[in-house]
A and B are shown apart, each in its own frame.
Chain A
Amino acid sequence: GAGVSQTPSNKVTEKGKYVELRCDPISGHTALYWYRQSLGQGPEFLIYFQGTGAADDSGLPNDRFFAVRPEGSVSTLKIQRTERGDSAVYLCASSDQPGGADTQYFGPGTRLTVL
């Protein structure tokens, strides 16, 4: 079956611009996660959705970052007034067993480059 997909695979933007990154989770998975992976680092938690609601957004670095999941499936991560420090690979994962022991299925990521 289809895995988690993310679009675009690469995004180059200029400092100060607005970007949207999309995640299509595995069909039927109720839990969805966003992570950010900087060069040489492991994934860093940003936000977790259970259904349509953001159950935990404590990882969002500041108010320029926002994510939505209006119908409990596709999610969009939105970054306003991008900065060069936002350059990273943004990963999305989904799970059908929300909780600390769940297996998360990751997408290939969106590589964001802010010039």
Chain B
Amino acid sequence: AQSVTQLGSHVSVSEGALVLLRCNYSSSVPPYLFWYVQYPNQGLQLLLKYTSAATLVKGINGFEAEFKKSETSFHLTKPSAHMSDAAEYFCAVSSPAGGNQFYFGTGTSLTVIP
């Protein structure tokens, strides 16, 4: 069985500060991992994904995430927050072993304080 846990349902950062959104996964096989962002009244949009190549993955809008097998983590970071980063962020896991089920976390709402 696979699952992801997102620590912190709400995160607030000041504009220009580091953004760190946490995601831990549970998987019996090496997983594929994803971060999606959801802006108000819009569909989920892929930020980045890990598919067993480089462990440090760079995505859109300056975001990146590092796959750490020893910690079963895939935390999302951005060096300097912008007001436009305010949104809901979802971590998701799927299996390379077959099947097409994606398992999403419960989401983290990011607030950027001016």
Q: Which residues of A contact B (CB under 8 A)?
A: 3-4, 31, 33, 35, 40-45, 48, 50, 55-56, 58-59, 91, 93, 98-109
Contact = CB atoms under 8 A, between A and B. Distances in A.
Interface of B: 9, 32, 36, 41-46, 49, 51, 90, 92, 94-107
Given A45-B102, A58-B101, A106-B43, A101 B32 contact: yes
Contact of A44 (B9, B32, B51, B104): B104
A98 B102 CA distance: 12
A43 B104 contact: yes
B100 A4 contact: no
> Could you tell me the dominant secondary structure of chain B's interface residues?
loop
Contacts of A106: 36, 43-45
A49 to B, nearest CB: 10
Given A42-B106, A43-B44, A108-B42, A98 B100 contact: yes
Contacts of A42: 90, 92, 104-107
7 contacts: A40-B9, A42-B92, A43-B102, A44-B104, A102-B100, A103-B49, A104-B44
